[in-house]
Amino acid sequence: MARNRRRWYEWPERWRAFRHVPLRRLWILYTAVFLIFSIIGMFSELMDMGRLPYPITIAIGVICGLDAVLWLFMMNRLPWPTVFLAIALQFAMGPCIGFVARRMELAFRLTSPSPEAGIRFAAIGMLIIAIASYAFFVFFFNVEARETIRISNELELAHGIQKTLVPPISLCTERYELYGVSHPSDKVGGDLVDAVLLPNGDLIAYLADIAGHGLPAGILMGMLKTAAHTALLDATEHEPAASLPALLEKLNRVLPDVKEPQMYATLAAFRLNKDGSAWCAMAASPPVLHWRPCRNTAQLVQSEQFPLGLLPVSGFSGEPIDLRDGDLLVVATDGVLEVCDRSEQEFGMTRLEQSISTASQLPLSEMADSILAKARAFGKQADDQTLLLIRRRS
What pLDDT is recorded for position 185?
Answer: 80
Give the H or E element holding residue 97: helix 83-108
Counting DSSP H helices and E strands in the chain, the numbers are 9, 11
- Residue 268 · residue 302 · CB < 8 Å: no
In this predicted structure, the answer to whether residue 2 has a pLDDT above a threshold of 70 is: no
What's the mean pLDDT in 146-159? 75
Spell out the domains of the chain, with CATH numbers in brackets.
13-158 (no CATH), 166-392 (3.60.40.10)
In this predicted structure, the answer to whether residue 12 has a pLDDT above a threshold of 90 is: no
Q: Residues 309-320: pLDDT tens digits?
A: 988 888 899 999
Say how far apart CA 80 and CA 1 lie, in whole Å.
28
In this predicted structure, the answer to whether residue 11 has a pLDDT above a threshold of 70 is: no
- Residue 381 · residue 185 · CB < 8 Å: yes
The two beta strands, 297-301 and 385-392, are unpaired
Grade residue 331 by pLDDT with cuts at 50, 70 and 90. very high
Q: Residues 28-47: pLDDT tens digits?
A: 999 999 999 999 999 998 99
Letter string b/e over residues 162-180, b meaning 16 or more CB atoms within 10 A of that residue's CB: beebbeeeebeeebbbbbb
What pLDDT is recorded for position 152?
Answer: 76
In this predicted structure, the answer to whether residue 1 has a pLDDT above a threshold of 80 is: no
**24 DSSP 8-state letter:** H
- Residue 269 · residue 248 · CB < 8 Å: yes
In this predicted structure, the answer to whether residue 160 has a pLDDT above a threshold of 80 is: no
**pTM (predicted TM-score):** 0.69
Output the DSSP codes for 168-214. Answer: -EEEE-SSEEEEEEEE-SSSS--EEEEEEE-TTS-EEEEEEEESS-H
Query: Between 20 and 250, whose confidence is greater?
Result: 250
Letter string b/e over residues 336-370, b meaning 16 or more CB atoms within 10 A of that residue's CB: bbbbeeeeeebbbbebbbebbeebbeeebeebbee
Q: Residues 45-89: pLDDT tens digits?
A: 899 898 899 999 999 999 999 999 998 888 777 887 888 888 888
Grade residue 194 by pLDDT with cuts at 50, 70 and 90. very high
φ/ψ bin of 197: left (φ > 0), alpha (ψ from -120 to 50), beta (otherwise): beta
**By C-alpha distance, which of 321, 265, 314, 264 is closest to 288?**
321
SS3 letters across 40-59: HHHHHHHHCCCCCCHHHHHH
What pLDDT is recorded for position 13?
Answer: 62
Say how far apart CA 267 and CA 206 lie, in whole Å.
7
Q: For residue 176, how many C-alpha atoms fall within 13 Å in the half-sphere facing its CB?
A: 25
